[in-house]
Structures are given as structure tokens and as C-alpha cells.
Amino acid sequence: MDKNIFPVDMHDRLKSMPEFMGFAVPIHRASTIKFNTVEEFINRRDRLFDGFSYGLYGTPIIRYMEQEIAKIEGGEYCLATPSGLSAVNLPMLALLKSGDHIIIAQNAYGTTREFCKNFLSRIGVRHTLIPADATSIQQSLEPATRLVILESPGSYTMEIQDMQRIAYEAHQHGALISVDNAWGLGLTQLFKFGIDIVCNALSKYASGHSDVCMGSVTVNDRALYERLKTTSFMLGEGVSSDSASLVLRGLQTLEVRLSEHAKRALVIADWLDKQPMVERVICPFRPGDRQHGLFSQYFRGGNGLLSVILKKATDSRVIEMVEGFKMFKIGASWGGTHSLVAPVRGNTFSWLDMRERESWLLRLHIGLESFEALQHDLEEGFATLCAQKIPEPGIAPR
């Protein structure tokens, strides 16, 4: 028996096989990458941007996926990161130094705001929060302002900033502008509006099945790309080829999933709007929403995410309602096929008006389960909230 069970001649043997024409991009798993010469090994850093030097810094399937994301975002260069959070934070780590100042939208991803408050402040970078629905940053610009970070529609409360105008103001000032486009993947191309850096959470609709954590940073400028890539290299950040494969699979159905999620979300938003216990439905792609006008300037469609602010009710009643849902599971990180509810106390959002802060906000992700079951779940939930007696099945047919 051949004791040599290691595939030392793998590359030669694969090359000698007939062409294999499957539909999936082959998965390349690697830490080590082999070099043919001493010189190639010594100069392997030269391959950081365009070649392959170590599994952590890219494999063919990861580069392939990055190119697909760049196409969707409408940019030139994409860099995969381990999470959406790391994608949003990477530009700050790459571009800022002690003494710098940044501007960030109040409704940006919570952990990113925490990063500014508890991490950047320690290294001497100050930040200013701007209103969730800011249309200008003129008042907040300082001589030291280097970077502006927006998120539209923002997390939970989904306000939209006037990104194009703010990008113009940032550029006049010599600052760069980065947008967390987690909500808008596949629904907008933000470079058209002057955005320099577009970050995304591929954990959401890109992968689409709640089984991957990944993020992306896309830019048009080669020097900016190299700076981001060098920073992620120094931080030891990378993604797995298996995860890239799952993202590529998800992307194939992104368009049809988004439109089906959105179709359902609109019907549910209309229904929620008629419920007596609902203070406000937040669904920017729905005509009539407070920010639908601004939304339509930037986005061409919706998805399955919406928020609902409840009228004042006792905590126990709201908790009973949320825990009683059968279809809507309690959880974060939307974008999969399952329906989710994320309950948050209104007073978490200091920018909402007094009345809205008194109650609860439920962020719903409308999944792809039986639509009738989802509707029934919400009907029962709101009946609980109103403390009406729910008819027993079989006694009073619905």
C-alpha cells in the first residue's frame, strides 16, 4: 500500500483531469499557500492586493465573491471582512489617527456607536453625533473632521440622511464619507451619490439564510482599497472560503427574495397601520411613510424589514405578546428566510418624540414562511396586546 496519503501531487493531478463544468465556484480551503521559489516566498507581500499569499488574505472563491459584491454595490474594489460590524469599523481603523474627528449618524448600528464612544475615544479620536434624519453636516464639521459615517435607513428607527448633500459637504471639507448599506444591499448603488466607502453586512440578505457572518467594504479608489486591505492584513482579519461559498449561493436568489420579502412586508405594514395599538409603522419604502420622498431618491425597492412603535402598554402585556408569537422568533440579524421580532424599549432611541419613547418598538423581519401563518400570528399577538379574548379554534371560526 502507498503510505503517502498526502496529496502532494494534487495540482498536477487536477490539471490532468478533464474540465469539470459544475455551477458552483470551487471552494478553496487554505492557510498555507505553496511557493515555487525562495524569491517568491520572500516577496509574498507583493501579492497582498492582487495575488494569493496566505489563506487568511484571500482565496480564489473569496476574490470571486468580492467581485460579485463590488458589482452589486456598483464599485470597483471590494474587501470581505469577518462581519458587518468589522466592515463598518475597518475604515475608521484604516483612516483615523489621534487628534482626528468624525461625524456619525445617531441611528447608526449600536455597536459602531459604542466603538466610537469606548474605543476611538481612547486613541484620541473624537466624534459628533448628527440627527438620524440629517440633511446637512455643516454645523458639525470641524477642522479635524476626516470621516463621516452614515446609515440609511438606520438601524431600528430607519431614518434616512440626505447622503448626496452630506457627501458634497464632506468633500468640500476634504473629508471622506462612508455609508453602512446593510439595509440597501441590491436596492441602491451609493457611489452615484458621491459616497466614498460602502460597507455591508453580508450576514443579512446576501447570504440570506441566517447561517453566515460576513461583511464587505467596497470602494472605487485603488489607493483607498490598498489602505483598507493593508489594515485588515495587520489586524489579521479574513473570511473562510466556505462562508464565501454560502454568500455566492445566496446572491443567486437575492433579487427574487428581496422582492418577495418586500411584497409581504408592504401588506403587513398596511395591516399594522390599522391596528388601534399601533402608534406608528416605520417602513420607508411604503408610500406615505415620513421619509418616503427621500427614500425614493436613493432606493429602488424594499425588503422584509419594518418597525412598529406600539401605543403605551404595560411591559408585561408587550412581553406576553412577543413571547407568544409562534412564527416571529425573538432575534436579531434579519435577512434570512425566517420571520423575526426584535423588541426594544422606546426610550433606547433618544431622538424619538416623548410619546414614542414611552412605549416599545418592535422591529419585524417578514420571512418567507406561509403568509397566512404570519398574518395569523400577528392577529393573535395584537389581540393579546389589546387584552381581547382570543376565540378558541373550532368554537368561533376566524
Rounded Cα distance between 382 and 373, Å, is 14
Contact between 180 and ligand PLP per CB under 6 A: yes
Among residues 59, 157, 203, 207, the one that binds ligand PLP under rule CB under 6 A:
203
To ligand PLP, the closest distance from the beta carbon of 213 in angstroms equals 5
Q: CA geometry: angle at 161 spanning 332 and 118, to 5°?
A: 55
Contact between 152 and ligand PLP per CB under 6 A: no
Would you tell me how many other CB atoms lie within 10 Å of the CB of residue 9? 11
To ligand PLP, the closest distance from the beta carbon of 212 in angstroms equals 9
Q: Give the Å distances, CA to CA, from 93 to 87, 125, 229.
A: 10, 10, 11
Among residues 83, 152, 210, 232, the one that binds ligand PLP under rule CB under 6 A:
83
E strands in 131-277:
145-151, 176-180, 197-201, 215-219
To ligand PLP, the closest distance from the beta carbon of 121 in angstroms equals 20
CA 221 to chain CA mean position, Å? 22
Torsion of CA 288, 374, 339, 112, to 10 degrees: 30
- Please report the DSSP string for 19-76 in residue order: P---SSPPP---S----SSHHHHHTGGGGTTTS-S-GGG--HHHHHHHHHHHHHHT-S
Rounded Cα distance between 58 and 143, Å, is 38
Tell the residue number behind the cell numbers 389581540, with chain if given: 383
Of 154 and 381, nearer to ligand PLP (C-beta) is 154
Contact between 240 and ligand PLP per CB under 6 A: no
Contacts to ligand PLP from residues 320-359, by CB under 6 A: 333
Contact between 155 and ligand PLP per CB under 6 A: yes
Question: Which range binds ligand PLP by CB under 6 A, 13-21, 126-134, 197-205, 267-275?
Answer: 197-205
Among residues 77, 109, 156, 382, the one that binds ligand PLP under rule CB under 6 A:
109
Question: Which range binds ligand PLP by CB under 6 A, 123-131, 161-169, 201-209, 344-352?
Answer: 201-209
Question: Which range binds ligand PLP by CB under 6 A, 7-15, 83-91, 189-197, 341-349?
Answer: 83-91
Contact between 84 and ligand PLP per CB under 6 A: yes
**What residues form DSSP beta bridges with 178?**
149, 197
Q: Are β-strands 340-345 and 360-365 bridged in parallel, bridged antiparallel, or unpaired? A: antiparallel
Query: By Cβ distance, which residue is nearest to ligand PLP?
Result: 84
Among residues 88, 129, 195, 364, the one that binds ligand PLP under rule CB under 6 A:
88
Contact between 186 and ligand PLP per CB under 6 A: no
Of 83 and 241, nearer to ligand PLP (C-beta) is 83
Residues 6 or more apart in contact with residue 117 via CB below 8 angstroms: 127
Of 61 and 213, nearer to ligand PLP (C-beta) is 213
Question: Which range binds ligand PLP by CB under 6 A, 34-42, 84-92, 216-224, 234-242?
Answer: 84-92
Rounded Cα distance between 390 and 380, Å, is 7
| Helix-strand-coil split of the chain, %, nearest 5 | 40, 15, 45
Of 195 and 385, nearer to ligand PLP (C-beta) is 195
Of 46 and 242, nearer to ligand PLP (C-beta) is 242
Identity of the amino acid at 87: A
Contacts with ligand PLP, residue ranges (CB under 6 A): 83-85, 88, 109, 151, 155, 180, 182, 201, 203-204, 213, 215, 333
